[in-house]
């Protein structure tokens, strides 16, 4: 392994190991994904009814979703190797687009809410198309 890659992985491990943990944190990677899925589904109903306060609250949950346990994150990093940064960029896109949805809801701009919701879903789908099989084979339950 090259020295730069070793340093990158060490720093990544250090960052991941210092992430706080809370009692209601998900127990596994699959649970994190299921919580995001539930929140994205809830958003559809709130968008249809123009319930801006609920859109604000739930889009914030999607933007700042829980992290899977450290052991699962490390297994994903090991499996994806150099592809991990691209994998992470999809999660970053989910965050950015969900924040945009929250901000649009605060302005009561439904067109922007819907556009941001679509971009958030596209970010999820892009990640799933590229990485779902590789991550599912890790059986992170």
Q: What is the pLDDT of residues 41-81, one digit of tens each?
A: 999 999 999 999 999 999 999 999 999 999 999 999 999 99
Q: Considering the entire predicted model, what is its pTM?
A: 0.80
- Where b means 16+ CB within 10 Å and e means fewer, 102-123 reads bebbeeeeeeebeebbebbeeb
Asked if residue 139 lies in contact with residue 75, where contact means CB atoms within 8 angstroms, the answer is: no
Q: Phi-psi bin for 7: left (phi > 0), alpha (psi -120 to 50), beta?
A: alpha
- How much of the chain exceeds pLDDT 90, in percent? 79
State both tokens at 78.
């090991």
State both tokens at 36.
């995001």
Which is more confidently placed, 19 or 47? 47
Per-position DSSP letters for 18-35, written without gaps between them: TS---TTS-SSHHHHHHH
| Average pLDDT score, the chain | 88
Which is more confidently placed, 34 or 25? 34
| Model confidence band, residue 22 (pLDDT cutoffs 50, 70, 90) | very low
Distances (CA, A) of 3 to 6, 25, 78, 79, 82: 5, 34, 17, 19, 14
Distances (CA, A) of 38 to 17, 59, 97, 102, 134: 27, 12, 17, 17, 23
The pLDDT of residue 13 is above 70? no
| Model confidence band, residue 23 (pLDDT cutoffs 50, 70, 90) | very low
Annotated domain spans of the chain: 3-136
3-state secondary structure of 107: coil
- pLDDT value at residue 141: 80
- Identify the CATH assignment for 3-136 out of 1.20.120.1760, 3.40.50.300, 1.20.140.10, 1.20.120.10: 1.20.120.10
């Amino acid at each position: 392994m090259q020295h730069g890659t070793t340093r990158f992985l060490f720093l990544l491990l250090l960052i991941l190991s210092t992430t706080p943990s809370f009692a209601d944190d998900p127990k596994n990677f699959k649970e994190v994904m299921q919580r995001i899925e539930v929140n994205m589904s809830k958003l559809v109903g709130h968008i249809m009814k123009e319930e801006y306060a609920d859109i604000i609250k739930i889009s914030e949950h999607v933007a700042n979703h829980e992290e899977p346990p450290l052991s699962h994150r490390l297994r994903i990093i090991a499996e994806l190797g150099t592809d991990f940064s691209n994998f992470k960029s999809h999660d970053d896109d989910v965050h950015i687009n969900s924040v945009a949805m929250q901000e649009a809801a605060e302005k009561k701009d439904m067109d922007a809410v819907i556009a941001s919701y679509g971009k958030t879903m596209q970010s999820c789908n892009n990640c799933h198309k590229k990485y779902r099989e590789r991550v599912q084979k890790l059986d992170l339950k």
